[in-house]
Every structure is written in structure tokens, then in C-alpha cells.
A = this chain, B = another copy of it.
Amino acid sequence: MRKILEEQIENLHQDFAKMGFDVAKSIENATNVFENHDEALAKKVLENDSAINESEIYLERKTAQVIALQQPVASDLRVLITILKASSDLERMGDHAVSIVHSTKRIDVNNRNQEIEDILVKMSKHVHKMLLDVIDAYVHNDEEKARSLAADDEVNDDYLRQVRRKALDAMQSDPKFVSAGPEYMVIATHFERMGDYVTNVSEWIVYTNTGRIVELGPTDSKRE
């Protein structure tokens, strides 16, 4: 019984990490779509998202099954609850990558603003790295690393504010940017939310380790 449970948990670990890498790929691809307005790649992000959704459903189904049949306790149960909960956080990040692709389509390609796009690409790379780090913290069950990621998320608020200000300035000084400007703001908001989801995953890593449900990020009331 015990051996079966261990094996099942090990498989779920791997599946969860794989889902995380799929989402990271989605973010990378969505960013390339944003930079290059590449329609073939845009299609790929949407296809990849279906796979991500299926992974979430698989993980939910499987963890529920293992909890029901094996009746795990203590740290085994905590691991399963973490996978059950944090799979939604990964899936949501994938949704935001899809939204970035849709947002990109609405940008007037003849009137792009390079300065703002550069900030958004930087922001994307930051979020992408945060996701890889949190998967790494998950795989190595590294509570300290998970906790440290919450601080990384603060940078995203700065990026968001920068994008917002520069997009407003651009629209005010030249009406040709009224197509791209709002989309830049929306895309920055998507990246910012992705950072929040990384923090959520971090919180579940802490839970796996300690059994305590904590809030690592700024409280939502301070969120923008």
C-alpha cells in the first residue's frame, strides 16, 4: 500500500513539474508572438493551452483519486493537496499567456512603441524566470527558495507602473498609439497576475513543508 502511494505521488510530482514547464514554454512563445506578431506561433500557444488544461484536469482527477483510495495522512496528504490546488495556479498562468496572444492581435502593427515593448519583454523574462524558479523550488522541495520568490514579484509592480505611465504618455502625445497603448497596459496586467500565481505556488510549497497556509505576497488590498 505504502509503496503504491509513494509511486503515485512520485508520478504526480513529475506530471506537475512537466505542466509547469509547459506553461513556461507558453509564456516564452506568447512573448515571441508579442515581439514578432508571428501568427503560426500564436496558433501554437492556443494548442499548447489545450494541453495545459488537460494536464490540470488530469492532476485534479488523479490527486482526488489517490486521496480517496489511499487515504494518505500528514506530509503525503499535504503534497497531494498542494498539487490539487497549485495546478490551478499554473493553468491560470497559461490562460494569461493566451490572453497576451489575443491582445497582441488587436495591436495596430504599423504603430508600435518600441520603448514600451522592450519593458514588456523584460517583464516577461522576469516572470518566466520566476516560474522556472518556483518549479525548481517545488521539485527540490526548497521552502527557502519558495519564500524568496515573493520578493521577486515586487519588481513586476514597477514594470506595470512604468508601462502604464509610458503608454498614457504615448497616447497623449500621439493619437496613433491609441490602438497599442491600452493593449500594452492589459498585457502588463497579465504578466503581473502571472507573478501573483508564482507567489501562490510558493505558498503551497511552504504548506507542503510546514502544514501552514501562509500569505507570502503583499495582501490583495495593496495589489493594483
Contact = CB atoms under 8 A, between A and B. Distances in A.
Given A60-B213, A68-B77, A85-B85, A98 B221 contact: yes
A168 interface: yes
Interface string A55-80: 00100110010011001011001100
Interface in A186-224: 186, 189, 213, 215, 219-221, 223-224
Contacts of A37: none
A99 interface: yes
A19 interface: no
A146 interface: no
A157 to B, nearest CB: 11
The binding surface of chain A is classed by DSSP as helix
Interface string A37-69: 000000000110110010001001100100110
Interface of A: 46-47, 49-50, 53, 57, 60-61, 64, 67-68, 71, 73-74, 77-78, 81, 84-85, 88, 94-95, 98-99, 102, 106, 164, 167-168, 171-172, 175, 178-179, 181-182, 185-186, 189, 213, 215, 219-221, 223-224
